[in-house]
Amino acid sequence: MYLDTFGNPFYNSVVATFCHQLAHNSEPQIQLDSKISLIYVGELIENILKLILVNEHEKINVHEIQHTKEITVSELLETLKRMKSDYFERGEIPDLSCSFSRNLFNTFLCYIDHKSFYPFLLKLNTDNRGSFVETVKLNSGGQVSFSTTKPGITRGNHFHTRKAERFAVIKGKAKIELRKIGTTNKFEFELNGEHPSFVDMPVWYTHNITNIGDEDLYTIFWINEHFDPDDTDTFFEKV
């Protein structure tokens, strides 16, 4: 069985079904709590591509691709429930240090109703010293960046296949656009630094951010892994 970021619920796998049900506030039911073997669709494709390259020089008729994770159905459901609770209530990112957790979280994000869920409002704490906002709550590392963007300027127009990424606007006015690769349907969100908020970028969605205000836009970017110029996982395509 495989983890598929865009699998059909009640058809492709129990992962797709559980993610869809939890993201839409439905309670999943376990019919048989057995141990299941999983592989993420990206890992499967990576293995197939390697075999194709090998097959150019060596004839391979049959090859069995091994699963990358064993887990019981109940453990899978409890993991997804924790992800939902932490994310929906506090906007908290789980520990993504292992590839299974990262792939499962990215899969779960893709079943959220983005149009109604984002932008996620952050708590603005203000006193006589100024203001303070917690923009990213996470249980793993990654990279946090800060940018200013001039009025009318657009950043981004790219997508990722494995990276989890957050755009948090803390000053100015922004428009964030998302479009799933291979489709024409586009999501648009307007964020205002007077009410700090964020939008998380699903994998395989090209995305950008535009300053639609009259002053500089201040944005904090978080991504779950350090930038590697030899493996950027960044593919440019206009939203």
Amino acid identity at 91: G
Class of domain 2-109: alpha beta
pLDDT grade for 3, boundaries at 50, 70 and 90: low
Residue 12's pLDDT is 74
pLDDT grade for 141, boundaries at 50, 70 and 90: confident
Domain positions in the chain: 2-109, 115-236
Sign of dihedral through CA atoms 154, 158, 160, 161?
Answer: positive
List the one residue out of 33, 106, 120 whose CA is nearest residue 73: 33
In this model, does residue 134 exceed pLDDT 70?
A: yes
Residue 153's pLDDT is 96
Q: How much is the pTM?
A: 0.86
User: How do residues 38-71 score in pLDDT, each as one tens digit?
Assistant: 999 989 998 888 888 776 666 667 778 899 999 9
Of residues 59 and 142, more confidence is placed in 142
Q: Give me the mean pLDDT over the 5-26 stretch.
A: 91
User: How do residues 149-185 score in pLDDT, each as one tens digit?
Assistant: 999 999 999 999 999 999 999 999 999 999 999 999 9
Please check whether residue 200 is in contact with residue 122, taking contact to mean a CB–CB distance below 8 angstroms.
Answer: no
Residue 178's pLDDT is 97
pLDDT grade for 220, boundaries at 50, 70 and 90: very high
Strand ranges for the chain from DSSP E = 2-3, 35-40, 69-72, 92-93, 120-121, 124-127, 130-133, 137-138, 143-149, 154-159, 165-171, 173-180, 186-192, 197-201, 205-211, 217-223, 235-236
In this model, does residue 234 exceed pLDDT 70?
A: yes
Q: Give me the mean pLDDT over the 80-94 stretch.
A: 94
* Total residue count of the chain as it appears in this document: 239
- Which residues does residue 149 pair with via DSSP β-bridges, in sequence order? 217
In this model, does residue 130 exceed pLDDT 90?
A: no
Residue 37's pLDDT is 94
In this model, does residue 4 exceed pLDDT 80?
A: no
Phi, psi of 113 (to 5 degrees): -80, 90
Superfamily of domain 115-236: Jelly Rolls (2.60.120.10)
pLDDT grade for 124, boundaries at 50, 70 and 90: confident
Residue 58's pLDDT is 67
Mean pLDDT (the chain, rounded): 92
Q: Give me the mean pLDDT over the 188-202 stretch.
A: 96
